[in-house]
Amino acid sequence: MKYLKIIDRAIESFCKYSLCLLFIMIIIAGFMQVFWRYALNNPLTWSDELCRYGMIWLTFIGAGLGVKRYSHITIDILKGYLPESVNAKIERLNSLFILVFSLVIIYFGAIIAFQNMNQFSPGLYIPMGTIYLVMPIGGLIMLFYSSLQLFQLQKKI
């Protein structure tokens, strides 16, 4: 359990700091794009791509943190009418679905990322595989937290 707690803290810290940095990066790049376009009448060629790719990374890393915090989409109307034991089984089934979904994201995301390492983005000129690499990274985060929830280990750490 001690090692799970260390891994949990490391992943959560990575997610929090990454999300903050990505959000700040998107705001700065968006502001620069607007300023250069309208004030200087000379739009930047790379800022739109940076915002788009930052939003993709923000989404997948945020999804992993959302699984940890039980922030994913649920239908709460039934929770009040069903017994607690049924609600617990539904939560475990939900965790199983998220686990399977994250395995699919990891598998296909890794394939897409490695297939596109030789293709470069037009504005930033970075490999597109690095953009798509967030799919297996976010999938691994979701896999870790959904596994903890499925085996009811998250409450113990």
Q: Which pLDDT does position 142 carry in this prediction?
A: 96
Instruction: Supply the DSSP symbol for 44.
Output: -
Q: Residue ranges of the alpha helices (H) in 35-133?
A: 47-68, 84-115, 128-132
Residue 99: domain span: 2-150
pLDDT at residue 84 is higher than 90? no
Residue 84 included in any domain = yes
Cα–Cα–Cα angle for 108, 50, 24, nearest 5°?
105
Q: Does residue 155 lie within any of the structural domains?
A: no
In a domain, 156, yes or no: no
Q: Supply 107's token pair.
A: 């598998």
How many domains are contained in the chain?
1
Residues 124-154 have pLDDT tens digits of 899 999 999 999 999 999 999 999 988 877 6
Residue 87 pLDDT: 84
Is 46 inside a domain boundary?
yes
Residue 24 clears pLDDT 90, i.e. is over it: yes
* Interatomic CA distance for residues 148 and 142, integer angstroms: 10
Widest pairwise Cα distance in the chain: 63
The pLDDT-based confidence of 41 (bands split at 50, 70, 90) is confident
125 in a domain, yes or no? yes
Residues 55 and 16 sit within 8 Å (Cβ to Cβ): no
Residue 6 forms part of a structural domain:
yes
Say if residue 9's pLDDT is above 90: yes
Render pLDDT for 58-79 as a digit per residue (tens, 0 to 9): 999 999 999 999 887 777 777 7
Task: Round to the nearest angstrom and report the end-to-end CA distance of the chain.
Answer: 6
Average pLDDT (45-66) is 94
Residue 141 lies inside a defined structural domain of this protein: yes
Is the pLDDT assigned to residue 82 strictly greater than 90? no
Residue 80, token pair as written in the block:
């009040």
pLDDT at 157: 63
pLDDT attached to residue 71: 85
At residue 77, the 3 state secondary structure works out as: helix
Average pLDDT of the chain to the nearest whole number? 91
| Residues facing 120 on adjacent strands | 127
Position 42 in a domain: yes
Residue in the structure block whose two tokens are 């959302």:
66
- Give the chain's radius of gyration (CA, Å): 19
List, in sequence order, every residue forming a beta bridge with 127; answer none if it has no partner.
120
